[in-house]
């Protein structure tokens, strides 16, 4: 499991980030502490991280780690914007979904008027995600706001598959994911898009759509240590690498979630 994380300190994450940059990929550094009430600690770690890296890096945040505190999150994003560092907002579990939807859309509206400073994540194993993706794109397009969209299959399958809002059939999730890719390719004038996936068919579809449109409609992303057999060969594409780090004992919720999804043959992961 430790091959999938950078280490337990900012220094470790930066060392891994430098290796990723040397390989021609783009680092997305993720302080992967998910279940804590110490939001000041989370905030200060992210501020130190932003202060320590350059604009070649991106930073992932989880709104629930800040207890959805708008003030802290906006202060963090403003600091990142001042350094030209893009913020990628990761997805949340189902209990926090509507809170996530509301706050992430506010952040996109407030910060993406001139360029894409904030990227939002859509979990395409949700039955409503394709509709929400289309709704958001059309809304922001009407407001002349640039959307940042990262589409994933989903990361909470093992905990939420009986709740009724997820596709129970892998093929349905694949159709939803690839339909989202096709929709984004048709609306690329108004959006910046990341296909975060370890699914070879979805990767190939993104590459094909880039070729058809003769431009970089899609960037790609994978987790550190995963699907490198495919992504290391995509020299002509913009490929991101998620770099999780943090105190090991505090990363247990993140690591177990990734472990469960990995055991499940990655079918609903990332």
CA distances from 198 to 75, 143, 229, 250 (A): 33, 33, 10, 26
Neighbours of 259 (CB within 10 A): 12
pLDDT score for 156: 86
Neighbours of 155 (CB within 10 A): 23
Q: How far apart are CA 193 and CA 64, in angstroms?
A: 23
Write the secondary structure of 174-242 as one string of H (helix), E (strand) and C (coil).
HHHHHHHHHHHHHCHHHEEEEEECCCHHHHHHHHHHHHHHCCCCEEEEEECCCCHHHHCCCCCCCEEEE
Domains of the chain: 2-263 (3.20.20.220)
Mean pLDDT (10-residue bins), the chain, 270 residues? 84 97 97 85 96 97 94 96 97 94 97 96 97 97 96 88 93 97 94 95 97 95 91 93 90 68 45
Q: How far apart are CA 108 and CA 112, in angstroms?
A: 5
| Entry pTM | 0.94
pLDDT score for 267: 43
Cβ within 8 Å of residue 142, ≥6 positions away? none
pLDDT score for 270: 43
């Amino acid at each position: 499991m430790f091959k999938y994380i950078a280490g337990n300190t900012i220094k470790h994450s930066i060392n891994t980030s430098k290796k990723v940059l040397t390989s021609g990929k783009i680092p997305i550094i993720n302080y992967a502490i998910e279940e804590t009430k110490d939001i000041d600690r989370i905030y200060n770690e992210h501020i130190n991280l932003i202060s320590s890296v350059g604009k070649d890096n991106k930073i992932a945040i989880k709104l629930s780690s800040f207890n959805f505190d708008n003030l802290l999150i906006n202060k963090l994003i403003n600091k990142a914007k001042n350094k030209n560092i893009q913020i990628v907002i990761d997805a949340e579990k189902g209990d926090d979904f509507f809170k996530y939807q509301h706050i992430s859309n506010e952040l996109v509206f407030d910060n993406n008027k001139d360029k894409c400073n904030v990227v939002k994540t859509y979990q395409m194993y949700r039955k409503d995600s394709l509709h929400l993706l289309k709704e958001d794109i059309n809304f922001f397009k009407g407001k002349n706001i640039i959307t940042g969209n990262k589409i994933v299959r989903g990361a909470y399958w093992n905990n939420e598959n009986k709740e009724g809002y997820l596709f129970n059939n892998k093929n349905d999730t694949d159709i939803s994911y690839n339909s989202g890719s096709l929709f984004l390719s048709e609306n690329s004038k108004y959006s910046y898009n990341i296909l975060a996936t370890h699914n070879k068919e979805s990767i190939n579809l993104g590459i094909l759509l880039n070729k058809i449109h003769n431009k970089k409609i899609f960037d790609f992303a994978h987790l550190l240590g995963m699907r490198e057999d495919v992504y290391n060969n995509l020299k002509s594409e913009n490929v991101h690498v998620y770099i999780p780090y943090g105190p090991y004992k505090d990363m247990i919720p993140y690591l177990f979630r990734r472990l469960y999804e990995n055991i499940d043959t990655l079918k609903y992961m990332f």
